[in-house]
Structure 1
Amino acid sequence: MAVTPPEQRIWWNEPIERVELVWIVIAFLWGLFMFGFMIAWHFIGQQNLSKEAYRTTPSAYEAKVDDFAKKFQVREEKGIPVVKPKPGADVYLLGRLWQWWPILELEKGVSYRIHLSSLDWQHGFSLQPTNINIQVHPGYEHIISLTPTESGEFGIICNEFCGIGHHTMTGKIYVTEQKRAEAEPRLAEGR
């Protein structure tokens, strides 16, 4: 029940107050501005990652990740392989109930193509504390380009509810400084 009921029972035939009409026009124009600027923010603000996506099967993707982990494993951490690929290599990471696997060790300042997929449900790949968030779907291989700019330990969390163990679904990426000998070409070579 309204405080002051309309004079007529058919309220939509009532005239619109001037102030209300002004706010409707402002909201409509703001909505148009925001809609149009979404495209500009992609380029100007670098808000969204440019990514590729390809169809795959969970079993085929799992085989790729297993091969990748066996080839580049450097150690284990709580039973999970820590994988250090060659600088600039394609890197494979999979989400499954309830972990991101394997742990990655990347080099600062080197660009990598990160391949992501899920074996079971939709998961969220959220790299903390950076602002990278991607929905990862089973049956699709998502590829993003990533160049770490800081060294340290970065956490991966799932930000799409994926079941009872969702709150435990985490992973890690270590970013290390390039070794000086690897970063600078040897002076003795080429003489």
Structure 2
Amino acid sequence: MSITPPEQKVWYNEPVEKTEVIWVLIALTWALIMFAMMPLWHLKGTQNMSNEAYRIQPDVYQARVDAFVEKYKVGEEGHAKTPVVRPPAGSDVYLLARLWEWYPVLELEKGKSYRLHLSSIDWQHGFSVQPANINLQVHPGIDEVVTITPTDAGDFGIICNEYCGIGHHTMLGKIRVVAGK
């Protein structure tokens, strides 16, 4: 029921005004342009990170992270004494998401490439690097591998942007990028 009913009961047989036809054609044209741009942005855009994904058992991933930390640990940070690791350029780098932390702190070299492995051992988490605006989903049982090359030195915060429980707001991590030697 409308507020003001149409003058003619069979309103769909009424002729359409020229301005209305023009607006419908503009909307249709824009929709077709956006539809064509989606695959183009995906294939040619620089916003898409190259990645791989593999199935992995959470306990196997935890063992890889522990071995990685033991091999490349250079210190500790914070009241929780989170290990800081400095892997060599070009190596595989492991970052673990678990309630409610990112483990370990990564120290990477500016301008060097790394294969960053991301996985969770408990729930789904969101990997968001600020202020770089990188956002990925991190799932248990999936080893998400992303090739990264830091372009700016400094500390970059990692936050979980997928609600993961009562301590979600405390799930913070860090990637430190240092200038080349």
Q: Alpha-carbon deviations, 1:63-86, whole Å to 9, x = none?
A: 111111111110011210001111
Amino acid in structure 2 at the alignment position of 1:47: Q
**Residue 10 of structure 1: how far off its partner (Å):** 7.1
- Separation in 2, partners of 1:168, 1:50: 29
Q: Alpha-carbon deviations, 1:99-144, whole Å to 9, x = none?
A: 1111000001100000001111111111111121111111111011
Aligned to 1:140, which of 139, 142, 145?
Answer: 142
Amino acid in structure 1 at the alignment position of 2:32: L
Deviates more, 1:6-15 or 1:59-68: 6-15
The correspondence of residues 56-75 of structure 1 with structure 2, limited to 5 A, is 56-75=56-75
Describe the shift of the 1:29–1:69 C-alpha distance in structure 2 as closer, same or farther (beyond 3 A).
same
Aligned partner of 1:167 in structure 2 is 169
- Separation in 2, partners of 1:44, 1:6: 49
SS at match of 2:165: coil
Aligned partner of 1:45 in structure 2 is 45
Amino acid in structure 2 at the alignment position of 1:114: L
**Residue 162 of structure 1: how far off its partner (Å):** 1.6
**Residue 177 of structure 1: how far off its partner (Å):** 1.1
Q: Percent identity?
A: 61
- Separation in 2, partners of 1:108, 1:38: 32
SS at match of 1:161: coil
**Residue 7 of structure 1: how far off its partner (Å):** 4.3
- Separation in 1, partners of 2:20, 2:167: 48
Q: TM-score, normalised by structure 2?
A: 0.89
Amino acid in structure 1 at the alignment position of 2:121: L
- Which runs of 5 or more structure 2 residues have no equivalent in the other structure? none
**Residue 16 of structure 1: how far off its partner (Å):** 4.7
Amino acid in structure 1 at the alignment position of 2:4: T
Aligned partner of 1:110 in structure 2 is 112
- Which runs of 5 or more structure 1 residues have no equivalent in the other structure? 180-191
SS at match of 1:164: coil
Q: Is 1:54 matched with 2:57?
A: no
C-alpha RMSD of the superposition? 1.9
SS at match of 1:6: coil
**Residue 29 of structure 1: how far off its partner (Å):** 2.4
